[in-house]
Structure 1
Amino acid sequence: MPTAPGPAEDLYVLYRGPLASCNYDCPYCPFAKRVDPPDLLRADRADLERFLGWVEATTDRRLSVLFTPWGEGLTRSWYRDAVVRLSHLPHVGRVAIQTNLATRTGWLADAKPQVAALWATYHPGQVTRDRFVGRCRELDGLGVRYSVGVVGLPEHHAEAVALRAALPPHVYLWVNAADGHTYTAEEERRWTALDPRFGDSVRPHPSLGRPCHAGETAISVLGDGTVRRCHFIPDPIGNLYDGSWRAALRPRPCTNDRCDCHIGYVHLKPLRLREVYAAGLLERIPAAWPSP
């Protein structure tokens, strides 16, 4: 599969606009079957266009962009266009988006496969396994990098096992620990058999006072340009569009007691997970996958 090196000086930008609608109704998600009004969709599109302009103009350092919408972005044409557009910029090392993979994939033929990538989640009960795996095969045919994951609910385990068997060996299958679920040793063993990195997710990471890349070489950006250290520390550190984000970048210890979401703890320096994922950081693919 294609890859691209991720130098240490990359600025990792996690972008989240106001979009919060989703075509699925997963019982564990607060945004299930939410419908955004037309004015919010227009605002989301305008915010994204402004962000793309900033990425195109910020050529003095290499950028890697991950779209982390509350809802499903790829059902909206402007997110598909954004992935394609950013993938062709010479100073963008990676552009990825979190998605349920419900939408068509042919648009990715216009993207640069060495740069564009998907972080896909399989939701049993919302889509058949055959249909989801079919989408994955389309991605393989397009040469696009992607990971696939599931939420580690007990009732999802059998489907996750079947999904792993149906996917090609080169596809990394990750498992997110379910919110509010305490795992027995046997449950943890079973999920780890599917995802060797499940241990990273199953217990929250103590983070208070610990050094983190967030706010130094990784930032969270809202639709209006507000820059935060990460999605989980709401205090702003600057704004993308007035240039104040540049002076705000510096090493900082975490101010939260714990970090229990992958897009947060992957940047905690003591965990050294950037070394684990390397060029696959944004699309959640370990550098050593498939295992030797």
Structure 2
Amino acid sequence: MDLTLLYRGPLASCDYDCPYCPFAKRRDSRAQLDADRAALERFTAWVAAQDGDRLSVLFTPWGEGLVRSWYRRALVALSRMPHVARVAIQTNLSCRTGWLDDADPATLALWCTYHPGQTPYERFLARCRDLAARGVRFSVGVVGLPAHLPHARRLRADLPDHVYLWVNAAEGHTYTDAEAAVWTGIDPLFGYSRTPHRSAGLPCRTGESVVSVDGEGTVRRCHFVPDVLGNLYDGSYRAALRPRTCPLAVCDCHIGYVHLASLPLYDTFAGGVLERIPTPAALTHPPRAPGAAR
């Protein structure tokens, strides 16, 4: 079986204080951190035992995972498992990168976000250049707030040409066509993020070949649909895997709508769906974003 797992454990603490994030500077207690570590170690052990399946894993923690040693260990271990096709994590890239020496760069990838005002620009850029020198697959992005525009332009000019710079539409922000054109000049695929995608009744790969898993092993089709499919650790989720349509009116998050079969994004991001790396051709001739709610 080929299966993609979107894992989100109890971790909810972050070392940044972004004004647009509800988890900014949130602190987990020692007990909460211990619970998160135990949950992640259990999940990693489960993946290791599934050597008859082909698995891909994306960690989408509410907080920042890579400042925690157990996430770094998990990524290294998973990257070395022959039945794991890809393991990636969303990160602010605030941690040092030496731990990557032990990982398999053919399997591990990073989805990095630059948060202006939270870290010196040159430090973030140096980390990106270090990743490139190590041969690590990674994308870089920013939130499309007006104040972030000069930072995004600077990043695009300074990053290696092969590194994709994505732009996430800011939550609750409406973009005029002129504003959207400016952001599209930086990220040719910004149109997919600009407005939510109508998804009700449309086929989606979640619940069939993609599932969401929490720290207790509870399996749902995705992070945004609360219905439970079963549990990872007792295997009850397997019987529930089947083709499904989306029950929600719209999907407005990349980790959700990238799996909509009605969108061409599996071709656009072929080989890089989890780490948000599109094919070079997709950036040269980006597909039009169909079905976006207006």
**Does TM, scored on the shorter chain, surpass 0.5?**
yes
The alignment covers a number of residue pairs equal to 284
Cα deviation 1:96-154 (Å, max 9, x = unaligned): 00000000001001000000000000000001211100001111121100000000001
Name the SS for the 1:47 alignment partner.
helix
Residue 140 (1) aligns with residue 128 (2):
no
Name the SS for the 1:113 alignment partner.
coil
CA distance in structure 1 between the partners assigned to 2:159 and 2:230 by the alignment: 42
CA distance in structure 2 between the partners assigned to 1:104 and 1:85 by the alignment: 18
TM-score, length of structure 1 as denominator length: 0.96
Residue 173 (1) aligns with residue 172 (2):
no
Aligned counterpart for 1:236 among listed residues 208, 228, 248:
228
CA distance in structure 2 between the partners assigned to 1:159 and 1:65 by the alignment: 30
Residue 198 (1) aligns with residue 198 (2):
no
CA distance in structure 2 between the partners assigned to 1:165 and 1:290 by the alignment: 20
- 1:172–1:290 Cα contact (<8 Å) kept: no
Name the SS for the 1:156 alignment partner.
helix
- 2:5–2:57 Cα contact (<8 Å) kept: yes
- Aligned match of 1:267: 259
Please state how far the C-alpha of 1:276 moved relative to its aligned partner.
1.0
Indicate the percent of aligned positions where both proteins have the same amino acid: 65
CA distance in structure 1 between the partners assigned to 2:3 and 2:226 by the alignment: 19
The 1:60/1:143 distance shift into structure 2, 3 A limit, reads same
- Aligned match of 1:88: 80
The 1:166/1:289 distance shift into structure 2, 3 A limit, reads farther
Higher relative contact order (CA 8 A, sep 6+): 1
Equivalent runs, 1:157-168 vs 2, <5 Å: 157-168=149-160
Name the SS for the 2:13 alignment partner.
coil
Name the SS for the 1:147 alignment partner.
strand
The 1:174/1:92 distance shift into structure 2, 3 A limit, reads same
- Aligned match of 1:100: 92
The 1:289/1:24 distance shift into structure 2, 3 A limit, reads farther
Aligned counterpart for 2:244 among listed residues 252, 276, 285:
252
- 2:188–2:283 Cα contact (<8 Å) kept: no
Name the SS for the 1:271 alignment partner.
coil
- Aligned match of 2:30: 38
CA distance in structure 2 between the partners assigned to 1:172 and 1:37 by the alignment: 36
Instruction: Give the residue type in structure 1 aligned to 2:222.
Output: C
Aligned counterpart for 1:188 among listed residues 176, 180, 194:
180
- 1:170–1:290 Cα contact (<8 Å) kept: no
Runs (4+) of structure 1 exceeding 3 A deviation are: 289-292
Aligned counterpart for 1:155 among listed residues 147, 151, 155:
147
Instruction: Give the residue type in structure 2 aligned to 1:269.
Output: A
Residue 69 (1) aligns with residue 54 (2):
no
- Aligned match of 2:115: 123
Unmatched segments (≥5 aa) in structure 2: 285-294
Quote the RMSD (CA, aligned, Å).
Answer: 1.0
Instruction: Give the residue type in structure 2 aligned to 1:145.
Output: R
